[in-house]
Amino acid sequence: MTESLGKLGPHEGQELELLLSGKKPIAYFYELLPIEFIKHLEQGSLSMISKDIETSLSLPFSIMLIYKDASLADLNELMLCIERSLKATQLEERLELDRRIGQLLGYSVQDIEFYIQ
């Protein structure tokens, strides 16, 4: 039996295609939104929610979640997990939150564990 190894950024550069095809429930951005998403947001084939989170930095940290068919419950949970993860001071709490964030973003268990390692 061969164990599947995870990898970093398995959805990188593919988020739009994965979202539109329904293979990825939510994409998370915290910097600039990639330009290729704009057309789909304007057309309504994708939706976005965003939130500014206060951190110890002088500027707020902006979270953008892009989705097609994700439930409001999953979007709210993801937003809360990201905010709590950014503010977590205990390693175990942070790792638990990061695992849940990975699940909500549609990553495999192997990719999540590889990221955490």
The reply to whether 25 falls in a domain is: yes
Residue 41: inside a domain, yes or no? yes
Strands lying side by side in the sheet with 26-29: 26-29, 61-67, 47-53
Tell me the DSSP string of the chain: -PPPP--S-TTTTTHHHHHHHTS-SEEEESSPPPGGGHHHHHHTSSEEEEEEE--SSSSPEEEEEEESS--HHHHHHHHHHHHHHHH--SHHHHHHHHHHHHHHTT--HHHHHHHH-
Q: Per residue in 24-59, pLDDT tens?
A: 999 999 878 999 999 999 999 999 999 998 877 777
Is 56 domain-assigned? yes
Does a structural domain hold residue 1? no
Residues making up the chain, counted from first to last: 117
pTM here is 0.84
> Could you tell me the residue range of the domain that residue 31 belongs to?
15-116
> Does residue 9 belong to any structural domain of this protein?
no
Query: What percent of the chain clears pLDDT 90, i.e. is strictly above it?
Result: 64
